[in-house]
């Protein structure tokens, strides 16, 4: 197997279309609804359910983005499929929030329909020639199988439902590029488009973090404690913005069998971390207004830093920046400091939640500054250093299959 080799054809990158940007809007509403649901019921069970629903909705975005990366058509049929998927995501989220009156199986069926609609969108590529046809069929069949399993879960006894759903979710998560290991064709990915789509959704998630805390603060009279929380929020989110956009889009995606889709999937961890950070800060504001900050606010903030910097570490490993070790160690050290600070806030009486939040801000600033310094000792390929056919990320067959 020739890992990292290129497909024989070259694709010219096109800017992200308005249809894709419109599609992202449904995630603004969905993410805000899910974060509000958890804020109202901050339990581990609620956290698991809300995180699972975000992952499921995000996976629809993931497969749609990969589809548009290869086939960026914007005809009436494509719009109808995208709009219908957006509608189902919106209904799905609202049904999830109102589970007391909505049958859980109905939520699963709505999601299964959304997956099958996405399979139909891939089916439209089946009439293309060459590797694209086989690639689209493989992804279509995987989505059909996942949707079918979700429908089966609606019929079978509840005792084994979670197993069937687990298999279906794995079919959606495991990068389809793994099919290359069986000698199946893997389509080339437009690297510029993929990095731009990931960056745009990351911007949306960061923007929702501002909105989440702003809505909480606006529910009461703003005092100096609220102002201090807003300062911490802005500083940390600006640090995340700087760390991401000074590094990730410029570094691009390294060649490899799984690199393209795995790089995109790593953004799920990062974006979950940003959402958790927004929820943690909003809970900190709500609880602090009552005079006492409970441990779960500290837990959420600690996990948020694990998600944000763990996601950045994973994305960095799949990028083209070399050497990778300095930035990887920096992000791992940041995670250790955030978790260590959380344990100190629990066990050490002198380490108050206020001190921990300020500590996180200092850690984020230190990381951003150090990140900028370490990048000077690293290199990334430039367009002038890469051959024309290397501007598109792709994988080809083994020599005997070409």
pLDDT tens-place string over residues 277-300: 988 888 777 655 444 456 778 888
pLDDT band at residue 176 using 50, 70 and 90 as cut-offs: low
Neighbours of 395 (CB within 10 A): 24
Residue 42 inside a domain? The answer is yes
Of residues 59, 311, 114, the one with CA closest to residue 206: 311
End-to-end CA distance of the chain: 11
Looking at 59-73, 232-246, 262-276, 300-314, which range is the least confident one? 59-73
Residues 32 and 166 in one domain: yes
Predicted TM-score (pTM) of the model is 0.83
pLDDT attached to residue 208? 87
d(CA 1, CA 184): 11
pLDDT at residue 186 greater than cutoff 80: no
Q: How many domains does the chain have?
A: 2
Residues 256 and 358 in one domain: yes
Residue environment code for 26-62, b if the CB has 16+ CB neighbours within 10 A, otherwise e: bbeebbbbbbbbbbeebeeeebebbbebbebbbbbbb
pLDDT attached to residue 116? 94
pLDDT at residue 190 greater than cutoff 60: yes
pLDDT at residue 38 greater than cutoff 70: yes
pLDDT attached to residue 47? 82
Task: Answer for the pair 177, 256: CB distance below 8 angstroms, yes or no.
Answer: no
Residue environment code for 119-148, b if the CB has 16+ CB neighbours within 10 A, otherwise e: bebbbbbeeeeebbeebbbbbbebbbebbb
Domain finish residue from 182, 206, 232: 182
Residues 240 and 354 in one domain: yes
Residue 400 inside a domain? The answer is no
Of residues 173, 303, 284, the one with CA closest to residue 225: 284
d(CA 4, CA 1): 9
d(CA 30, CA 59): 13
Residues 145 and 236 in one domain: no
Domain that residue 241 falls in: 191-388
- Please provide the average confidence, as pLDDT, over all residues in the chain: 80
Domain finish residue from 182, 204, 239: 182
Residues 366 and 228 in one domain: yes
Burial of 366 (0-12, 13-18, 19+ CB in 10 A): middle
DSSP assignment letter at 219: T
d(CA 345, CA 179): 46
Q: Which of 17-21, 36-40, 142-146 is modeled with the greatest confidence?
A: 142-146
Residues 66 and 116 in one domain: yes
d(CA 12, CA 188): 11
d(CA 280, CA 104): 27
d(CA 276, CA 236): 13
Of residues 401, 400, 4, the one with CA closest to residue 189: 4
Q: What angle do CA 138, 140, 144 make, to 5 degrees?
A: 120
Residue 122 inside a domain? The answer is yes
Assigned token pair, 33 = 């609804």
Residues 311 and 357 in one domain: yes
Residues 154 and 23 in one domain: yes
Residues 145 and 232 in one domain: no
Residues 87 and 235 in one domain: no
pLDDT digits (tens, 9 = 90+) for 150-169: 998 888 877 678 888 889 98
Residues 326 and 229 in one domain: yes
Residue 53 inside a domain? The answer is yes
Task: Answer for the pair 282, 212: CB distance below 8 angstroms, yes or no.
Answer: yes
Bigger pLDDT: 107 vs 284 = 107
Residues 166 and 261 in one domain: no
Residue 1 inside a domain? The answer is no
Domain finish residue from 156, 182, 208: 182
Residue 5 inside a domain? The answer is no
pLDDT digits (tens, 9 = 90+) for 122-144: 988 877 766 677 778 888 889 99
What three-state secondary structure class fits 7? coil
Task: Answer for the pair 393, 198: CB distance below 8 angstroms, yes or no.
Answer: no
pLDDT at residue 333 greater than cutoff 90: yes
Residue 8 inside a domain? The answer is no
Residue 38 inside a domain? The answer is yes
pLDDT digits (tens, 9 = 90+) for 204-228: 999 888 888 877 777 665 666 667 8
pLDDT digits (tens, 9 = 90+) for 334-382: 999 999 999 888 777 777 778 888 999 999 999 999 999 999 999 887 7
């Amino acid at each position: 197997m020739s890992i990292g080799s290129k497909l024989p054809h070259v694709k010219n990158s096109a800017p992200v279309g308005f249809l894709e940007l419109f599609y992202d809007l449904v995630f603004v509403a969905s993410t805000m609804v899910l974060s509000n649901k958890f804020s109202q019921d901050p339990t581990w069970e609620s956290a698991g359910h809300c995180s699972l629903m975000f992952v499921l909705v995000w996976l629809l975005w993931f497969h749609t983005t990969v589809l548009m990366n290869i086939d960026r058509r914007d005809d009436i049929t494509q719009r109808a499929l995208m709009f219908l998927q957006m509608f189902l995501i919106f209904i799905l989220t609202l049904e999830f929030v109102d589970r007391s009156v909505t049958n859980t199986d109905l939520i699963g069926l709505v999601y299964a329909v959304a997956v099958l609609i996405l399979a139909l969108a891939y089916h439209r590529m089946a009439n293309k020639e060459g590797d694209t046809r086989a690639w689209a069929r493989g992804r279509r069949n995987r989505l059909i199988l996942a949707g079918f399993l979700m429908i089966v879960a609606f019929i079978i006894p509840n005792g084994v439902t979670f197993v069937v759903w687990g298999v279906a979710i794995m079919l959606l998560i495991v990068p389809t590029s793994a099919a290359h290991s069986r000698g199946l064709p893997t389509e080339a990915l437009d690297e510029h488009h993929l990095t731009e789509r990931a960056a745009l959704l990351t911007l949306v998630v960061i923007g929702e973090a501002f909105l989440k805390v702003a809505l909480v603060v606006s529910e009461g009279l703003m005092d100096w404690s609220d102002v201090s929380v807003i300062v911490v929020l802005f500083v940390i989110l600006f640090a995340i913005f700087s760390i991401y956009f000074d590094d990730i889009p410029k570094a691009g995606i390294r060649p490899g069998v799984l690199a393209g889709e795995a790089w995109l999937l790593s953004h799920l961890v990062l974006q979950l971390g940003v959402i958790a950070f927004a929820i943690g800060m909003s809970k900190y504001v709500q609880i602090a207004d009552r005079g006492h900050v409970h441990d779960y606010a500290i837990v959420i903030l600690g996990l948020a830093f694990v998600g944000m910097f763990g996601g950045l570490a994973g994305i960095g490993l799949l990028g083209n920046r070399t050497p990778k070790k300095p930035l990887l160690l920096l992000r791992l050290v940041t995670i250790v400091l955030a978790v260590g600070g959380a344990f100190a806030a629990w066990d050490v009486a002198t380490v108050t939640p206020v001190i921990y939040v300020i500590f996180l801000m200092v850690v984020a600033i230190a990381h951003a500054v150090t990140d900028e310094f370490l990048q000077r000792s690293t290199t990334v390929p430039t367009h002038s250093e890469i051959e024309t056919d290397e501007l598109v990320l792709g994988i080809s067959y083994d020599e005997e299959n070409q």
